[in-house]
Each structure stands twice: as structure tokens, then as C-alpha cells.
Structure 1
Amino acid sequence: MAVEAAAAPLYYEPLLLLGGAVIAAPLFARIGLGTILGYLAAGIAIGPVLLLISDGEELLHVAELGVVLLLFIIGLELKPARLWAMRRSIFGMGLIQVAATGVVLAMITLLLTDLSYGAAFVVGFGLALSSTAFSVQTLETQGALNSRYGQTSFSILLFQDLAIAPLLALVPLLSPGGEGAEAISLERFALAIASVIALIVAGRYLLNPLFRVIANTGAKEVMIAAALLVVLGSATVMQMAGLSMALGAFIAGVLLAESSFRHELEADIEPFRGILLGLFFMAIGLSLDLRIVLENWLSILIAVPILMLVKALILYGISRVFGCEHNGAVRVAALLPQGGEFGFVLFTAAASAFIFPQSTASLLIAIVTVSMALTPLSVRLGEMLIRTEPAEEMDEDFEGAGADVMMIGFSRFGQMVSQVLLSGGTEVTIIDHSADRVRAAERFGFRIYFGDGRRMEVLEAAGIRNTKIVAVCTNGATATDQIVNLIRDEYPHVRLYVRSYDRAHTLSLRDRDVEYEIRETVESALIFGGRTLQALGTSEEIASEIVEDVRRRDEERLAIQSVEGIYAGNDKMRVRPVTPEPLIKPKRESQRIDQDEEPVG
């Protein structure tokens, strides 16, 4: 009992945090507010409201590792060539955004407060930085990280991570009585440059050989330890040089982006990233000083909208100048108007250098935290400003429609499917909602009906009640799900054959009793791989058997995942070349070899 009593305090805070996360995140996601706001609310409830945990700022330093791991994983997805292609956005849009926003916010600070020019400079440029954690997590949740506006937003965030180094270096210069600060700043700048070069050299010539040696040992736990060592080591090097830890982890990720160990590293880091990033958002809530918020509620009520509006307007203008269309510019502006976690570092350093009092730093941190909490709201407001392009209309004329097969969607996938069906003598009723696609197909002699397969009246007019099979060949998981749900609810007798988007989509379709589904690229990838084996000297018969083995194991993995979840069944995948090769040897070939052998003697 004594041991249990002594051990209780050790597990007290983790239990509270885990319990808060498990309750708040799903609840907020369910009501449509998102998991980020759920983590924030849980942190505020556990810390400032109920006072169950008092050291929120201490926890924040640990939780920042979630942001570090997040940037490492993003770096793994960005090869150096792709990063170089983004240089215009990073050093063009990013530089202009930080400079323009910093100057405007500094001028507003001078107008509304009695702070000095140096203090206004720190306030303006500190608030010009946005939250990498909030923004990137929102992009990942939306599945928009690789979209044009997602890449634009990430480029700006990346430059902001670079900008924190010179901003911190300027703090001693702005400090009252900061003699010798210039030399210190120059030394810090030189150290930062040297650290980046050292990290790039080490990453280029040491990391891949290191992971190759560890992989050959077959020790999985050592591989995980090495991955964490690389991430935390590179982050620490950057921090010691005065740069952000996240920047160091990002550089390490980019240097490993072309490594053959990239996918394994991502899988090893992902669980730590998810837990620590959730902890980071909770720590933001824990560190919020409600006393300061209550004492300065009017200042915060004025400052937060001004901050978010000014940043949003500047972001929108810059995005438009750099070629973004209206909708993309609105999304960037709605995603990045909040203050950022690096502002905490800059304001704390400025208070330590006596540029402004600690009470001002606390107020600024509260403003940044409140703006972070409002990020989901700003994203929603941005969606309301998106212009919906009017869809070109055609007459919905379904005269002559009605066949054994109804095909919904006539993109490239549907076009190839139609060739098989028509070549087999099967009549097909083809529906597509794109007027341009319908006209283009008609020029080739196809009979296609214009209509949206997500509307029940369209399906009725096209003769779904007499259809034996509906082939859903739409391009996109969302539209496909809407069609499948409608048909399952209203026409349960219809057999559904569906084009799935990816593995997770396949599993969700199977849960809805779709009779047959196929991932849009799986068969073409199998054929491609088989032909590649043949080009390397493998016989056609053996290559076909290997392809069939891969197809069988993939189906077995799907069956396991449908019960145990998306991360199950990994033993059915090959992550290294099998030995001895080839894995599959046809029985007829082995028998023929035995017959051809000459008897001994």
C-alpha cells in the first residue's frame, strides 16, 4: 500500500491528461469543432479552471516535441528537389508576409499603447508568426496538406520558422543598455549558419549508412531509438544555435526523404508524434493564465480580432499577388491569422532583456493563446467566404435510359470499364455531372446522360429500379460515399460495384455491404510490377505467380484490417527483398527440371 501511495503522484498528471484527451477530443470531433479545440478545452479545464495541474508551462516544453516530430514527418514527404521548387513561395511569400505583417502590427502597437519603438517591433514581429502546430494539423485533418493552398500555407510557415532566429538575435540589440549585443548577434548568426551546414553534411553522408547498419541487425527497437535520436539530436543542435527545434527536425526529415528507410521511419515516429502533439495543445490550455485574461479582458477582446483581421487581410493580398485564386487565398488567410508558439519564446526573451515588463509578455502570450483557440472558428468563417463556381447546366434528358448496368461517373476509370462492358455486348446507362465531359464523350459517339448521381430523382429517371448493377466510378471518396449511402438506403436490392479511393475507403465500403470494390490503382500497379520483373529476367510464368501471391496477401491483409484496424496485418507486406529468389517457383517448372536431369552413373 505504501508503494502504491508513493507511486500515485507519479501517475496522477498523466492519468488526468490522458483522461481529458480521451473524453474531450472525440466529443469535440463529434460535434464538429475538431480535436484541436477539444485538447485545448481539456487543458483549460484541467489547469486554469479546476487547478488540478499547475505546471502547464513546464509541460509545454516537453509537449513542444510533438511539433518537432510533426515537422520531421513533413520533411520526410518533401524531397530536396520539391523543396527547391517551393523556394519562390518560401522566400518570396514568406518573407513578404513576415515583413509586412510585422511592420503593420508594430505601427498599430505604437498607436494603441505607450510601448517604445523597440518593444513595438518585438510585439509586431512576434505576432506576425503563426502556429505551425495548429495550421499543419488542420491541413492534415482536412487532407489538404498537398493541395496548392496547403503548400502555400506550409511555405509561409517554414519561412516563419527560419525568421525566429534573426528575431531572437535582434533582442539583445533592442535591450536597454545592450552594449556588446551586436557582437553577440553576429556570433549567434554565424553559429546558426554553421549548424545548418553541419546538419546538412551529417544528414547527407552519415544518416543513411547509420540506418543501413541498424536495419541489418534486425533490432526493431534500436531502429525506433535511432529515429528518435536523429529527430531530437537535430532539433537540439538547432536550438543550441538559436534556431527553432522544429526547423532542425524538418531539415533532418528532408535529408531522409529519398532514403529507402523513409516509410519505416515515418511508421516508427507517428505514434510519438500523435501523442505529443495532442499533449502540446493541452499544454497550451494548461498554460493559459485566466487571471490575466480576466484582468485584461477588454484589451484581449480588442487585440485578438485586430490581430487576426490584419494578418488575414495581408495573407489574402499576398496570396493573390503570387497567383492564388480567390478561394485558395481565402483558405490561406483563414488558416494562418493566429499567433504562433514561437511568439511565446520571443516575448519571454524580450521580457528577460527588459524590453517590456513581464506583465506585458504574459498579456501577449494570452492574446496568442486565445487566437490559437479561435483558429477552428476562423477556418469555418473562411469556408463561408469561398465562392462556389456555378456549375454549367445541361438539360437532364433521360429518354432511352435504362439498362442492366448503370454507370455513375465517366472519368478515365469509367471509360475503361465501359469498354469492357460494351465489348461484352452489355447495354450501359452512363451518368455524369460534368457538362464538359458529357459533350466531349458525345463527340466520340458515346450516349451519356447529364445528371448528378447523388440526387434520387436523377437515379429514378435513369431507371435504377430496373437496373441489376450500379457501377459507381466517380472520382473522389466523398462523392462516392454519398452515392453509395443513398443507394443503400433507398434501393437495397441493387448490387453495388464501386471504385474505391484507397485502402481506408475500401474498408469503409465493405462495412456498407458493397458487393464488389476495387482500389483505382491496384490492378494497374500489379501488372506494372509484373512487367518490371519480366524486364529484369524473371520468366512470365513466375512473374504471374508472384503477382498472384501479392494479390492474395493483399486481400488477406484487408480481411485482417476490417477486424483489427488499418494498422493491422503488416506481416502480409514485404518491406525487404525475399531470399532465396524467386519466392514462387511453378510446380511444372520444378518437375521439368527433375525430368531433364541425367541419372548419376
Structure 2
Amino acid sequence: MTHLLSSLLLLLAAAVLMVVLCRSAKLPAMFGYLLVGMLVGPHALALIASSDEATHLAEFGVVFLMFTLGLEFNLAKLNAMRRIVFGLGASQVVTTALLVCGGALLAGYDWKVGLALGGALAMSSTAMVSKLLTERAELNAPHGQNAIGILLFQDLAVVPLLIMLPVLGRPGEEMLWALGLAALKIVCVLVLLLNLGQRLMRPWFNLVAKQRSSELFMLNVLLVTLGIAWLTELAGLSLALGAFLAGMLIAETEYRYQVEDDIRPFRDLLLGLFFVTVGMNLNFSTLAQHWWMVLLTLTFLVPGKVMLITLLARWFGNAPGPALRTGFALGQGGEFAFVLLALATAGGLMPVELNQVMIASVVLSMLATPFVLQYSDKLVLRFVASEWMSMAASLHQIAVRTMESQGHVVVCGYGRSGQSLARLLNEENIPFFALDLDPEKVREAGAAGESVVFGDAAKREVLMAAGLMRARALVVTYADTHSALKILEMAHKLRPEMPVIVRTYDDTDINTLKAAGAAEVVAEILEGSLMLASHTLMMLGVPLNRVLKRIRSVREARYQMFRGFFRGTVEDQDDSDRPLPRLHTVLLVSGSAAIGKSIEMFDLAGLHVEVKSLRRKSMRPMQPAADFVLNEGDVLVLLGEPEGLAAAEMLLLQGN
């Protein structure tokens, strides 16, 4: 027992350390788990003598992964993408499997080995690709839709492969009988579960949910998932297939999203353990003996698979650029390759040495994927001449739309927050120009006459075409810190004086975003909690003016720019045209009179102007003291009436 606990503690410590390093290097956590298994396993440092202790528990990681895939199996979504899924996706899986099988036959292996290898190498990493495309905001791009459609068919193709591989190693007649029996069993199980299960699942979950116990709900999810998986295993099928069917049944109920959130910690933890055990099974001595086979397999997996998927995407009518990007996204092995290879080896279908070669090749191809996607834009521009024309035409379209715009607001993202902002800007007669990566949303907004175009706001050329150099402000309306940091970096280099307002989900990344140059960061949770608090206080009988005062005091403390603006309801109701205090930014360029001098040396108070904030590179925005010395490149945010602001700007820049 002590030995088991020490091994587990060692495994957990190594996993935590390695995943932290991977996160710091912007790499998926999956890499950390694979590397941990490779290092501590019996074939490397041998810190853990055998991987058998964790193998059975790790198998449940695959069970929960298949369960979440079942939750995603939506007939409406499948129907909308049927040409990509059953056309491009099916072509990719079948063509890849046939090519690999043919290569295995030429190498002297049996067709059964070739079929197992083909099925395994046809898979790509659903977990890795979907995460990387999400981080790059490319899920709704043409190549993102292609990739998701192909991955969906690959996930569906895993199900028959899980049934076939365990019986392929049997003698001829016995194999055919086993395949026929397995097919009959799966038909019976599907009919029973999908008919009887659909009738029972919704009322059963309703009964459990009425008890209002999160603990009971979680226990019920585990019971259903593992129970159906156990039933399919009793029928001679696999645990993973049962979990997939359980996910499909729950996907038809209104509890799908709650179940997905509840099951995610179990799935991620056990799937991480699964990848650790995969790494532990990697035998480096076998790799040293068969390095040329690993290199040959890698050549097919990365360049070969990229070329194959690119050609198939072109055949299905995609332009050269999106076709090549689809290939780059899917030119790796996937997590289900490990499952299929393990099944083939356990059934005596595949030699252990060949299994080691395949595992090494898949692991290395997955390690290369983030770097391939990182440089995919440059590679596409280099290999596809028409991509330059397409990009130039797209940028030209954006530039033409914004050519006459002056003093507009660049809105990055046109979702619900972006559309709400646009309505308010329209009411104030402030022009705006929005960028979004959802083609359907852009089409609908364009038909309604809105100034919205398709474009990635995280790219310098797109921001320039959107009139960044002529804009008054830039707003990032979607809560994606990684993308927002890229936009802030470019905006700070091109227009350091221009205010950039960023939306985020909570307070976690506020300091990071402000240090990167954000004039203000708006957290959804804070604003939602303020609205909740205001309605609660009013319902409890607290006077309206006292509620407004409470909310204003919180906002004054939270938002530096708002300090001094909350002057009471009388002024709030003033709709006259008389000059009112407003914010104005002043950039201290080279030769400005204020450089090297303190703020108190300028009589801004006499102009009825107040310094509300100062932005300096690599510093959070702050309200400077009177003796604060100004430097070149500082951005001062002033509060005052228009006449005083104009005089203050001249004083700071010219000294008179």
C-alpha cells in the first residue's frame, strides 16, 4: 500500500510540474501528460516500475471521452454539416485507411494489420485540434468548419473500429462469425437503448433533478454512464461504445449541458492519466532499433496526411488556402489511435515492436501540431499564390468600407455585446466599424445595413484596413484574453494614445490586460452582480436614490475612468447642449514641453482640467500624483470641458 501511494504521489507531482511548464509555454496539457509518462515509465527513468497499476483506471478516461462525444452527437448539427461530415470526412477516413493498408501489404504485413494501422492513423486529435482552433478564433472559418466536420466523422468511425479490431485476430470462419455476432449485438443494443432508453432517460433525470441535490445528480450521471457501458461490455462490445450511447441518450434531454459540466473534471483527470500510461508504454530501446520506421511513419502522418486532406478538400470545392489550412490542422495522429493500437496489440493482431513504432510516431506528430498551426499562415502564403490575392481582396474590401470613416470606433467581435455597443453608438451618432469571424453573422448584419465585415481582429493587416490609424477608440467585445493581448500589443505599437477597452469574463486577467495597455477592462461578473444587487435592494424596499448611490460607489472604486462622473440624478437627466466634462487623451511625443517635468508645473486646475489617468508601457494605468515626472510616450487621460481640454493639450505639448 505504501509503495502504491508513493508511486501515485510521484506521478501526481510530476504531472502537476509538467502541465504547469506546458501551460507556461502555451502548449496543451496533453503534452505534459505524455512527457510525464515517457520520463517516469519503466522504459526511461523507471521511477514507476510498471504501468499496470494505473492502466485499468486510465481506461475510464477513454470511457468519459466517448461519453462527451456522445453528448455532442446532435442530429440537427449533423444534418447541417452532412456534406462535410459524410462527404469530406468519410473520404478522408476511407482513403487514409486504404493507403495505409496498401503500404502495410507492400511491407509484408497481413491485411488485418494493415486495416488496424489504417484505422488508427486515419484518426486526428479531436481534443487538441478543437482547442487550438478555438484559441486561434478559427472554428467558424472555412477550414475550421472542415476540420470539425472531419473530426466528427472520425469520432463516429471509431465505434465500428472498436467492434472490429478485437475479433480480427481470430481464425477465418470464427472471425466472420464473431463479426456477424458483434453486428447483431450492436443492432439489438442500439434498438433497445435508443428506443427504451429515450423513453426512460428524460423522466428518470426529471425525477433526480426534482430532489435538488447536486451530489445526487452527479451520482446519477456516473450511474447512467458506467451502467450503460457495463451493459454493452456484457454484450461482448466495449465500454467506450456504451459510454458513447449513454452520451447520445442524455443529449436528447434538457440536462445535456449540466451533465457535460459535471462530467468534465472526471473526464479530464482520467484522460490525463490515460495519456500518462500511453507515455509509460513507450519503449525507447525499440525506437532506437526501428528509428527509420518511426521516421517513415512520421513522414506519412504529417506531410503525407496534410497533402491528402488538402487534395480531398480541393476535390470537395474548397479554395486552395482553406484546403491547405484544413490539412495543417489535421495532419497528426489522435488520442483514439492509442486506443485502437492497444486493442490490436492486446488481440494479438499487431506485433509489439510495430505498436511501439506507431505510438512513438503518433506522439511525435501530436507534439508537432501546435507549431505547425502556429506557422500555418506563413506556410499557406508561401505555398498558395492565390492566398495573397484572396487576402489582398479581403483587406481591400475592408479598406474601401472604412476609407471615408474618420473618428470611428473599431469594434472587435459582433456578438451580443458588440451589437449592444453598436446600438448605443448609433444613438449617439458615433460611427463604428465591426469585425467578426462568423460568416453567417456577418452576412445577416450586412443585409441589415450594419458596418460589419469578416476579418480577424487579431491580425495587424486587418486592423489597419479597418482604419485603426483614423479611429477614436478600439473595443474588444469578446472575452478571450489571448486574442485581446495580441490586439493590445498591435494597437499600442501603432496608436499608443488611442484608448482600448477590453471585455473579460472575471477579474482574473485584469492586471495582465491593463499592463498590456488596456485603458479599461470590463468584467462580466462584476456588472452582472451589480445589476443583481440593485434589483435585490429595490425589491427589499431600499430607496432608488440610495441604490444608485451604492452602485455608483462600487463603479467609482472599480473603474478609474468613471471617478468624478457620478454627480447625481439631476445632472444625469440634463439633455441640454451645454458643454459637459468629457475624457480626452494626450500622447507626449518627442519634443513635447511636458517631457521631464512634473504635472504640478502646469496649471491644469486653472483650466478646470483634471488628470484622470496615465498610461505608460508595461505599467498599469494609474492616477498620477502632482509631483509625477512625465516621460516621452506617456498617455494622459484628461477630464474637462472642450475648451479647457484644447488649452491643456497645447500647454502639455507646446508649453504655451
Residue 409 of structure 2 aligns to a residue in which SS?
Answer: strand
CA distance in 2, matches of 1:396, 1:282: 52
Q: Aligned pair in 2 of structure 1 residues 489, 301: CA closer, same or farther (>3 Å)? A: closer
Deviation at 1:216, TM superposition (A): 2.1
Q: Aligned pair in 2 of structure 1 residues 25, 162: CA closer, same or farther (>3 Å)? A: same
Deviation at 1:166, TM superposition (A): 5.3
Structure 2 residue 183 is matched with structure 1 residue 189: yes
Match for residue 72 of structure 1? 67
Structure 2 residue 159 is matched with structure 1 residue 156: no
* TM alignment of 1:446-485, pairs within 5 A: 462=470, 470=473, 472=475, 477=480, 481-484=485-488
Deviation at 1:224, TM superposition (A): 1.0
CA distance in 1, matches of 2:236, 2:250: 23
Structure 2's unaligned 5+ residue stretches are 382-386, 437-441, 452-459, 543-547, 560-656
Moved more, 97-106 or 388-397: 388-397
Structure-1-length-normalised TM-score: 0.69
Match for residue 54 of structure 2? 59
Deviations 1:480-506 (A, max 9, x none): 55555667899898766x463x63599
Q: Which amino acid aligns with 1:191?
A: K
CA contact (8 A) 2:84 2:146 kept: no
Deviation at 1:348, TM superposition (A): 5.1
Deviation at 1:25, TM superposition (A): 1.6
CA distance in 2, matches of 1:224, 1:558: 38
Match for residue 611 of structure 2? none
CA distance in 2, matches of 1:251, 1:93: 24
Match for residue 592 of structure 1? none
Deviations 1:61-108 (A, max 9, x none): 422323332343344345332234444444433432232112211222
Aligned-residue sequence identity (percent) comes to 27
Residue 472 of structure 1 aligns to a residue in which SS?
Answer: strand
CA contact (8 A) 2:506 2:523 kept: no
Q: Which amino acid aligns with 1:127?
A: L
CA distance in 1, matches of 2:235, 2:332: 27
* TM alignment of 1:109-508, pairs within 5 A: 109-111=104-106, 113-136=107-130, 138-139=132-133, 147-165=144-162, 167-168=164-165, 171-172=168-169, 175=170, 177-241=171-235, 245-344=239-338, 346-347=340-341, 350=344, 355=349, 357-380=351-374, 382-387=376-381, 389-390=391-392, 391-392=395-396, 394=399, 407-409=409-411, 413=419, 415-422=422-429, 428=430, 430=432, 462=470, 470=473, 472=475, 477=480, 481-484=485-488, 498=501, 500=503, 503-504=505-506, 508=510
CA distance in 2, matches of 1:431, 1:340: 40
Match for residue 29 of structure 1? 23
CA contact (8 A) 1:192 1:242 kept: no
Deviations 1:194-246 (A, max 9, x none): 22222223431222222222222233222111111222233344445565544
Structure 1's unaligned 5+ residue stretches are 1-6, 423-427, 465-469, 531-540, 546-550, 563-601
How many residues get paired? 503
Deviation at 1:119, TM superposition (A): 3.5
Using CA pairs under 8 Å that are at least 6 residues apart, name the structure with larger relative contact order, 1 or 2.
Answer: 1
CA contact (8 A) 2:502 2:520 kept: no
Q: Which amino acid aligns with 1:152?
A: G
Q: Aligned pair in 2 of structure 1 residues 205, 142: CA closer, same or farther (>3 Å)? A: farther
CA distance in 2, matches of 1:276, 1:310: 32
Q: Aligned pair in 2 of structure 1 residues 475, 126: CA closer, same or farther (>3 Å)? A: closer
Structure-2-length-normalised TM-score: 0.64
Q: Which amino acid aligns with 1:392?
A: H
CA contact (8 A) 2:396 2:465 kept: no
CA contact (8 A) 1:284 1:369 kept: no
Deviation at 1:46, TM superposition (A): 1.5
Q: Which amino acid aligns with 2:278?
A: I
Deviation at 1:181, TM superposition (A): 2.5
CA distance in 1, matches of 2:166, 2:198: 28
Deviations 1:34-61 (A, max 9, x none): 3222222222112132111233355344
CA distance in 1, matches of 2:553, 2:264: 25
CA-based RMSD: 4.8
Q: Which amino acid aligns with 2:424?
A: V
Q: Aligned pair in 2 of structure 1 residues 337, 456: CA closer, same or farther (>3 Å)? A: closer
Q: Aligned pair in 2 of structure 1 residues 276, 136: CA closer, same or farther (>3 Å)? A: farther
